[in-house]
Amino acid sequence: MSELRFDNVSVRFGGPRHGLTAVDGASLTVPDGGVVGLVGESGSGKSTLARVAVGLAPLHSGRILLDGQPVSHRGRRRPVQMVFQDPYSSLDPRMTIGESIAEAIPPGSSRAERREEVDRLLELVHFDSRRAIAYPDQLSGGQRQRVAVARALAGQPKVVIADEITSALDVSIQGAVLNLVRELQRELGLSMLFISHNLAVVRYVASHIAVMYLGRIVEYGPAADVLTDPQHPYTRELLAAMPGSEAGRTLAGQAAAIEPADPHHPPAGCRYHPICRVGPTVLPEREICRTTDPSLDHLHLAACHFAKSATPSGGDQPADPPPARPAQSEPTTRSSP
Amino acid sequence: MASGARNTADRWLRVLRTPLGLSAGALTAAVLILAVVGPILWTDQASKIDTDHILAGPSSQHWIGTDGLGRDLFYRVLVACRLSIELALLATVIAVAIGLLLGTAPLLLGSRAGRLMTAGVNIAVAFPGLLLALFFAVIFGVGAKGAVLAIGLAGAPTFARLCQTLVAGIAERDFVAAARVAGVGRLRVLFRHVLPNIAEPLAVIATIGAGGALLSFAGLSFLGLGVQPPSYDWGRLLQDGLSGIYVHPVAALAPGIAVILAGLAFNLFGESVAKGLGVAASRVTVQAGGEASFAETMMPPDHVEELGEAELAESGQESVLDVRDLSVTFPGPSGPVRPVRGVTFAVHRGEAVGIVGESGSGKSLTALAVARLVEEPGAVDAGRLSLLGTDLLVGAPRVHRELLGTSLAMVFQDPMTSFNPTMRIGAQLAEVARYHQGMTRRQAFARAVDRLRAVRVPAAERRAHQYPHEFSGGMRQRAMIGMGVMGHPALIIADEPTTALDVTVEQQVLALLQSIREASDVAIILISHDVTVVRAVCDRVLVMYAGRIVEDLPADQLATGAKHPYTRALVAAVPDMTTDRGQPLAVIPGRPVEPAEVPIGCAYAARCPLADEHTRREDPALVTVAARHRVACWHAGEPFDITRDEADVTADLASTEELS
Amino acid sequence: MSISPVATADTPMGGPVATGSRVTSVLANAWVRFAVRRLVRLVVSLWVLVTASFLMIHLIPGDPIRGALGPTAPQAVVDAQRQALGLNDPLLSQYGHFLHGVLTGDLGVSLISQLPVSSVISDRLPATAALAVLAFLVALAVAIPLGVTMGVLTRRGRGRRAELAFTTSGVVLGTIPDFLIGVGLVYLFGVHLSWFPVAGRSGPNSYVLPVLALAVGPAAVLARIVRVELVSVLEADYVRTARAKRLPAATIYLRHALPNALTAALTVSGLLLSSLVAGTVLVENVFAWPGLGSTIVQSIVLKDYPLVQGTVLVYGAGVLVVNTGVDVLLALLDPRSRIREA
């Protein structure tokens, strides 16, 4: 397994005038054997980041590197594989699940070898390999998602991207799929980009957490650090929004409705400034937020001029250091065995 | 073995079982047979010239008369069948082939060339087929060959467009994306994934197209641009007959009827197949069931759920809502289906009650039934259903209209679709006040603005004049709540109000509900699949499984005090911010029970580690086990391993698969 | 469907809706943008049409003039005719000449009658246009009330027999080509009952049968669409919301269901009207109607190519303009404009 690095990646859709920059200069590293949880609201660009990594969306600028080499999106061998959100759409209803998995096995093996590999993969995801001849419509959602995971593994990937793989499943099944993800990661040492809107789910599986807002990565770091010591106000907002958070409840109770930002017309400066609780709308002297785009910086990485400052003390304002790369952050040991 | 193939055959057979499909299919077969045998049997009779009976009317000798050379028209109509069908099928093949080529080209050529192709097809489609056919008829010359080419080419753009739509529909599915990610080439994606999935609709469209081609051909021949003498098809016969329609109408009508019958045969056959394929799933739910099925007769009588003693004492003066033994029944293909089976609960003033359960557990339907919004053919039965002491089961629905309109508010799941897109938000809110509170248009609108302000929609005055699509999701959900508080609700029923929203917005909406509840002592029923949401907002939680309440307990006891194995597993299956990352999550094996397949005993038995013979035989009643705590389980509170080994789970999955 | 909290997928299209005053201006722009896009497409389509009708005469195998005048015509006459039509010039200059002619309203001279094509067309166009517009109005007037009534009667799977009968007869009537309906009408009302004249254009009575023949098919198709749209709108979430507001049934149907069903159903009316225009070709031939439809057919049979070019051009342009016009108009009426998104 190996390291996947997004280096200043941008993705644009549509023409120059009415286009949309879904991902705007995002940098992120999935360390070798680590699981990076990517959270953010709908429209933040997290799924687009996944799709560009596997070649389903066009890379506008920047680089996507696998162990230092640009990721190839040509030929039959694709080192980055993806598991999709909706298992009801990601398996061809006209193919048996065995055929679907076999199709993803890189060429060069005999028929018997392929069959053996399909059996092995199905066992790996705890699916009875005798049922490889079943069609998707005979399976439940959770079973389909297991098969989809097996298919992604069939490509012998170096990195797997999981895009909201539990959100289309019933709650009783989610747990089983998350257990599977953790087990595979542990046994195979998979590098993984795990995308979810649910911070609790991400917390459960990820060693690192990245937070995305309007096409930008606004915070990135070891999971424990980001969760216990969030630097970016948006991350703090997300944490406070978790059901049961008392602080969040009082905060939200006072809030008037906040207009979500328009990704077609992102605000100048820091993209979060119009709704930031510690930004220029609350603290007028923080004009820099309106004008200057912050870079990923601070303890772990947070893109905020006033990271971790609830009051305008201003002492920790950065002196514009060279932009740090996520790659420089060391993969920390995970809090669980 | 090959379920895909089997299902396909099944579906086509099912089409033939409908009266329309059967008659259309039989007619199509008859036309095709006639096309084959007609010329073999009757060419001689059809071309025999009988100078004694020129332009004769119907007689016993000539059933529908003769033409200008005394040839028998009946046989000519029969013989003409082959040429008409042949030419029509030929034209259809041309149209389908070109259409398929143009339609799949965007997939193979990539986005830029594909867009150009699509634009070209779009332009060609704007011209009606007849006009294109005339254009090509000019180029290819008058005659059968020219007409076939003309109709084939004229039909191609339409087919290309349909193919493009079908292909695009498949191409955006994730399995195509998955194949591309796996490095599968475009050509293979086309042949392996796309074509097999569009083959069925394509066959249907081609069948309908053949009917259309047949009729177009008749049109061209009728104009004198198609088949030329001495050959004849139906259109030619029609044109010959029309000139003498005053003296000899049958000569024109007979070929006309033949054309229509054959065209309709193809068309109706295609349409009924299309309907059979498309509506297959929904037929099950709407079709009215006649006799009671085996499952129905075996179904045990519903338990009347026991209302907690404390609640019984309280109900009466303080309860906002009182529901006893509520059931909802729908007719099914094999007898009635009951997705809600005897639900009993009460909600007190200012109380927040959560209902949790998986999809299909009946939680939303319970809410709709309580709000009297279940429509035919669904039927609601209850021992008691009263809102603010008024029995909603007594009297006509319109009697309760004002009470329900002002005292009960509903907030639905999807704020994007729950507002009328063609009306301004303010007007949609104002309606409530105009109909139930007798306000004028101006007063009602002012109240709407006031209520929008109350739910903290910024710039409420301006916003009230906007259409729903100009609101974001969170803002719409606020407006929906604002609509609920146009009256003076005693109860707000919110059905998954935040499922479609982002977390930060979700929290704001929940907080808004909470503040409304505190400000005016409004009771809330919050329906959600998310235990964490319900736990954070509600005082009391009802857990539903397979149409019944299996546990009713205080929200703060969910984590530690739950007694039903389902509740306990449900809570442990969903990670929250305190879940131990070192432990696997709880797993509930198998899948939820379908409302049509509810077993005799405890519905949860098949997935329950505590289930035994008794559990499978007899459904436990909901009984009070402690103050404010009711459970329906024979083994309530017994310990079990909540995170069983994955291997066990797989075995269970396999066994439940065999059963289902 | 299972619940998916991120149903609003994380794709660029599903992004948050734009806000505030900007939306209003963007919305105004959105319609303008749509109209401009449609106009550009119209211009391109018209250019394709003009070019195609120019090329038509050159795509015909052999010498079109020889074909038109017959094998017995003296070579000198054929040559003179070719010269007069400019067929001996280089193709590009012929094209330029043709374009110039189209733009100035000069469509050449009929080979047979030697009359200017433009005057033949302007003589005949009103009769055809009157037929098409009348038939369209009749189709709307019949289809909308019929579709709405059937929609209400068959909502939520009720009246399955009525639905089957309606759908089947809709398919049947929609399938039978207009000229065959015409033949049937001629037989029934002209020959059998002698109520209406069956040929020519003379007074209001003569309109009845051709208009009916043209209107039946589109009316059947539109009525089916109206019904389907109404039935699906009645299942929509916002109708449930209206019921939750406990509004009177009439209000739910008239204010909440009908406008939405109609705007959706009428998106096809542009196509319907243009297919109706094309339908006049056949129907005019049944009723000997002195319009463009009979002209186009006669000119094709007689190989009067300048006249064919001119009539094809006018028919095609008429269809395209009508189609675009109706679409742009409907987009203006619909606040969300489903057409624009389609």
Which of 52-71 (C) contact B at CB < 8 A? 52-53, 56, 59-61
Asked if C10 and A45 come within 8 Å (Cβ–Cβ), the reply is yes
pLDDT at B300: 41
Asked if C183 and B252 come within 8 Å (Cβ–Cβ), the reply is yes
Q: Does position A103 have pLDDT exceeding 60, yes or no?
A: yes
The angle that helices B129-140 and C269-286 make with each other, rounded to 10 degrees, is 50
At residue B495, what are phi and psi to the nearest 5 degrees?
-100, 105
Q: Does position B6 have pLDDT exceeding 70, yes or no?
A: no
Q: Does position C23 have pLDDT exceeding 50, yes or no?
A: no
Q: Please name which of B333, B198, B262, B253 lies closest in space to residue B63, comparing C-alpha atoms.
A: B253
pLDDT at B522: 93
- As a whole number of angstroms, the distance between CA B497 and CA B196 comes to 40
Q: Does position A59 have pLDDT exceeding 50, yes or no?
A: yes
**Chain C residues with CB-CB distance to A42 below 8 A:** 6, 8-10, 14-16
pLDDT at B286: 27
Q: Does position B542 have pLDDT exceeding 90, yes or no?
A: yes
Range of weakest confidence among A134-148, B263-277, B280-294 = B280-294
- As a whole number of angstroms, the distance between CA B402 and CA B390 comes to 12
- B624: part of which helix (H) or strand (E)? strand B623-626
A247 residue type, one letter: A
- As a whole number of angstroms, the distance between CA B320 and CA B489 comes to 10
Q: Please name which of B618, B616, B598 lies closest in space to residue B608, comparing C-alpha atoms.
A: B616
Give chain A's length.
337
Asked if C5 and A197 come within 8 Å (Cβ–Cβ), the reply is yes
Confidence category of residue C157, pLDDT binned at 50, 70, 90: confident
Structure confidence by residue, pLDDT tens digits, B473-530: 888 888 999 998 888 899 999 998 888 788 888 888 888 888 889 888 899 999 998 8
Where do we find the tokens 């070209």?
B120
Asked if B142 and C301 come within 8 Å (Cβ–Cβ), the reply is yes
Range of weakest confidence among B181-195, B240-254, B390-404 = B240-254
The angle that helices B249-286 and C160-175 make with each other, rounded to 10 degrees, is 140
pLDDT at B121: 86
**Chain C residues with CB-CB distance to B20 below 8 A:** 164, 168
Asked if C156 and B242 come within 8 Å (Cβ–Cβ), the reply is no
Establish if B588 touches chain A: CB-CB under 8 angstroms. Answer: yes
Asked if A78 and B182 come within 8 Å (Cβ–Cβ), the reply is yes
Q: Does position A37 have pLDDT exceeding 90, yes or no?
A: yes
At residue B540, what are phi and psi to the nearest 5 degrees?
-135, 145
- Which chains share 3+ C-beta pairs under 8 angstroms with B? A, C
pLDDT at C28: 53
Q: In terms of CA atoms, which chain B residue is nearest residue C300?
A: B138
**Which of B10, B181, B186 to mutate against chain A (most A CBs within 10 Å)?**
B181
Q: Who among C8, C20, C22 is closest to A42 (CB)?
A: C8
Q: Does position B652 have pLDDT exceeding 60, yes or no?
A: no
The more confident residue out of B538 and A246 is B538
**Chain B residues with CB-CB distance to A133 below 8 A:** 1
Structure confidence by residue, pLDDT tens digits, C219-255: 998 998 899 889 888 888 999 999 998 888 888 988 8
- As a whole number of angstroms, the distance between CA C108 and CA C51 comes to 16
Distance from CA of A266 to the nearest CA of C (A): 11
Region B643-657 average pLDDT? 45
- C182: part of which helix (H) or strand (E)? helix C178-185
Asked if B467 and C335 come within 8 Å (Cβ–Cβ), the reply is yes
At residue B380, what are phi and psi to the nearest 5 degrees?
-110, 130
Q: In terms of CA atoms, which chain B residue is nearest residue A237?
A: B504
Q: In terms of CA atoms, which chain C residue is nearest residue B249?
A: C187
**Prior bond of A312 cis (ω within 30°):** no
Handedness of CA C78, C80, C86, C88 (dihedral sign): positive
What pTM was estimated for this model as a whole? 0.79
ipTM confidence: 0.81
Residue B98: alpha-carbon gap to chain centroid? 33
Establish if B29 touches chain A: CB-CB under 8 angstroms. Answer: no
Asked if A249 and B515 come within 8 Å (Cβ–Cβ), the reply is no
Mean residue pLDDT across chain B: 81
Tokens matching residue B636: 């309530």
**Chain A residues with CB-CB distance to C17 below 8 A:** 260
The radius of gyration of chain A's CA atoms, rounded to the nearest angstrom, is 21
Kindly give, in sequence order, each residue whose CB lies less than 8 Å from that of residue B131, ignoring residues fewer than 6 positions away: C278, C281, C312, C315, C316, C319
**Which of A144, A161, A264 to mutate against chain C (most C CBs within 10 Å)?**
A264
Mean residue pLDDT across chain A: 81
Q: In terms of CA atoms, which chain C residue is nearest residue A86?
A: C4
Tokens matching residue C67: 């074909």
Q: In terms of CA atoms, which chain C residue is nearest residue B423?
A: C256
Q: Who among C6, C18, C20 is closest to A164 (CB)?
A: C6
**Chain B residues with CB-CB distance to A178 below 8 A:** 575, 585
Confidence category of residue A334, pLDDT binned at 50, 70, 90: very low
Give chain C's length.
342
Asked if B647 and A126 come within 8 Å (Cβ–Cβ), the reply is yes
Which of 165-224 (B) contact A at CB < 8 A? 173-175, 177-184, 192-193, 196-197
Tokens matching residue B110: 């990539």
**Chain B residues with CB-CB distance to A56 below 8 A:** 177, 180-181
Which of 253-292 (C) contact B at CB < 8 A? 255-256, 259-260, 263, 274-275, 277-279, 281-282, 285-286
Range of weakest confidence among A64-68, A117-121, B299-303, B467-471 = B299-303
Q: In terms of CA atoms, which chain A residue is nearest residue B651?
A: A128
- As a whole number of angstroms, the distance between CA A53 and CA A63 comes to 10
Q: Who among B215, B412, B432 is closest to C177 (CB)?
A: B215
**Chain C residues with CB-CB distance to B216 below 8 A:** 177
Establish if B584 touches chain A: CB-CB under 8 angstroms. Answer: yes
Residue A144: alpha-carbon gap to chain centroid? 21
Confidence category of residue B586, pLDDT binned at 50, 70, 90: confident
Confidence category of residue A332, pLDDT binned at 50, 70, 90: very low
Q: How far apart are the first and last CA of chain A?
A: 19
